[in-house]
Amino acid sequence: MQAEPSYLTGLFRRLLRLLSGVIVGIILLLVFDRISFVDALFILSIGGGVGFYLMRNESHALIHLKTYFRAKAAADNPADFIPSKEQGLRSAEFDDTELTDLIWTVSTAEQQASIAARNLKLDSQYRHEVLYNLPLPLIILNDDGQVSEFNKQAKELFDHIEIGKPIAFIVRNNEVLEAIQKVNRGETSFNEIQLSTGFSVRRHFAVLTSNFSADEKNRTAITFIDRTLAMEAEKMRSDFVANVSHELRTPLTSILGFVETLQGSAGAEKKTREKFLNILQQQAERMFRLATDQLSLARIEQTEQYVPNDACDLNLICSRVITTLQKQAEAAQIILNLNQPTSPLLVKGSPDELVQMIQNLVENGIRYGRTGGEVKITLEAQANNPLAPQQPFCCIHVSDDGEGIDKEHLPRLTERFYRVDKDRSRTKGGTGLGLAIVKHIVNHHRGHLRITSEAGEGSTFSVYLPLP
């Protein structure tokens, strides 16, 4: 194997340094004429040959080490780079035990460093993925109060967020900023405060701020927990309790007043007594309807996640509802008109709930329809549902020719106790829960409810139910 020039040059330099003392001694002996020139050449030749023989492995090992580290230094990722066979370290080639130990030690250290670097890289990638895909918005601040990291949820919440931007330019709420600054300054290690964002659509967050150390530097983590649904549910619960209390208080007040009147001298008169007892019966029936509707709504909500699976014929259900409400319609001078297909219209559902749904819609038409008018119930065996055009649906249309409803009220009609005209609704005997029950029954059957109305032209309630 022909040696490389760099190998020989390096070997000659190291040999010259090794024999420099001997050479100086021989020169001095020559100057003082203690040895002859031939003897000096003989000593230098023997010494150089022996030194060359002894240093050849060392020089070869150094060349290997230099090639190895140059290859790693030139790589894009030195920690993960594995040199080729020609560039690698092969301790078996060398006889010297110390050189073999040195090469083995360097090779082992390099492998451990490579493994450590790879683990550190994987750990960094894992931490980044966990941070970026965390379901909660998260912002990391440095000790100057500037953004050092954030995840995609934080970007969705604050679209103007950027690395290096002060938190005061992102969260514009003085109370929240003050709480963040206290944690960032180390005055406290944890803080929680409420934040509301948005204008047309309000969102409410619990802002959790905590302090931690990383790379021997202080960091502040800000986590945003969405409390919007919880706060809306609490508000709905509060409104619900207030509405129920109000709805019950009105008939109870009437009942107590009339009972007190009947206990007095007015109760002795038959005509007055009959009149007051009739009013008492009406108020008691109103309370009973309210309690019944509340129980129905609670029962439907409890089972709403389970899809009913009984076979139901909508033709028979609608005919049964018409028969049940015929007298009520006649009393209100309303004509009930049923248009249905000749063959059975089968759907999967709960017969009792479907009866209640259609009955509530027809009663609503009777209650608010025009005197001497008509309530039409129309069944479509195949209907195009705008919300799910690819799925087969049937449809139940319940239309009246009453005064109609302004468009501003339509989105809230299915809210509990929401009424367009409260006084008229109570006079007509409505509980304010009929359409809320309809909405939940429709949801239970995985259908859709559509309400259309024009002021002065009546209203149409369309229920789309999926076909089996």
Under DSSP, the state recorded for 201 is: S
Which contiguous run of DSSP H or E holds residue 140? strand 138-141
Domain boundary among 198, 226, 254: 226
Residue 167 counted as domain residue: yes
Instruction: Flag whether 123 is in a domain.
Output: no
- Domain of 419, CATH number, reads 3.30.565.10
Q: In terms of domains, do 328 and 456 share one?
A: yes
Tokens of 165: 């931007």
Report yes or no on 124 lying in a domain. Answer: no
The region, left, alpha or beta by phi > 0 then psi within -120 to 50, assigned to residue 33 is left
Kindly state whether residues 90 and 75 are assigned to the same domain: yes
Q: Do residues 17 and 153 both lie within one domain? A: no
71's CB contacts (< 8 A; 6+ apart) are 81, 83, 84, 87
Phi, psi for 91 (deg, rounded to 5)? -65, -20
pLDDT, residue 421, reads 63
* Domain carrying residue 250: 231-302
**What is the rounded distance in angstroms from the CA atom of residue 365 to the CA atom of residue 360?**
9
- In 3D, which of 254, 242, 311, 248 has the Cα closest to residue 278? 254
137 neighbors 124 (Cβ within 8 angstroms): no
Q: Is residue 414 part of a domain?
A: yes
Q: What is the pLDDT of residue 426?
A: 53
Are 96 and 63 within one domain? yes
* Residues 6+ away with beta carbon under 8 Å from 209: 179, 180, 183, 190, 191, 192, 193, 220, 221, 222, 223
Are 344 and 457 in a shared domain?
yes
Which are the contacts of 290, defined by CB distance < 8 A and separation ≥ 6?
Answer: 244, 247, 248, 431, 433
- Assess if residue 360 is contained within a domain: yes
Q: Do 387 and 439 share a structural domain?
A: yes
8 A C-beta contact, residue 137 and residue 223: yes
**Residue 295 covered by a domain:** yes
Q: Are residues 468 and 421 in the same domain?
A: yes
Q: Where are the alpha helices (DSSP H) in 3-144?
A: 5-31, 37-74, 97-132
Please state the domain count of the chain.
4
- As a whole number of angstroms, the distance between CA 220 and CA 216 comes to 13
User: What 3-state DSSP class applies to 156?
Assistant: helix
How high is the pLDDT of residue 11? 62
If one counts every other C-beta atom within 10 angstroms of the C-beta of residue 444, the result is: 21
**Token code pair at residue 50:** 């022996």
Same domain, 430 and 338: yes
Cα dihedral 431/436/437/438 (nearest 10) = 120
**Helix (H), strand (E) at residue 224:** strand 217-226
425 and 347 fall within a common domain:
yes
**In angstroms, rounded to a whole number, what is the distance separating the alpha carbons of residues 45 and 50?**
8
State the Cα–Cα distance between residues 365 and 81, nearest whole angstrom: 80
Partnered with residue 394 across adjacent β-strands are 465
φ and ψ of 400, to 5 deg: -125, 170
Q: Is residue 128 part of a domain?
A: no
Residues 356 and 269 in one domain: no
Structure tokens at 161: 């967020």
Q: Kindly give the parts of the chain with pLDDT less than 70.
A: 1-12, 14-19, 51-64, 72-73, 75-104, 106-107, 110, 198-201, 215, 236, 239-247, 250, 265-268, 419-431
Question: What are the backbone dihedrals phi and psi of residue 345, each rounded to the nearest 5 degrees, phi first?
Answer: -110, 100
| 3-state secondary structure (DSSP) of residue 337 | strand
Asked if residue 463 and residue 365 are part of one domain, the reply reads yes
Domain boundary among 283, 302, 321: 302
Tell me the per-residue pLDDT of 207-233, one tens digit each, with 9 for 90 and over: 888 888 776 778 888 888 888 888 777
CATH, residue 271? 1.10.287.130
Cα–Cα distances (Å) from 366 to 179, 235, 332, in that order, read 58, 33, 7
Q: Which two tokens stand for residue 102?
A: 């040195």
* Whether residues 220 and 273 fall in one domain: no
Local structure of 6: helix, strand or coil: helix
Query: What H or E segment, with its residue span, contains residue 253?
Result: helix 228-263
> Where does a domain end: 287, 302, 317?
302
The per-residue pLDDT for 407 is 80
**Residue 208 in domain:** yes
For the stretch 25-40, what's the b/e string if a residue is b when 16 or more beta carbons lie within 10 angstroms of its beta carbon? ebeeeeeeeeeeeeeb
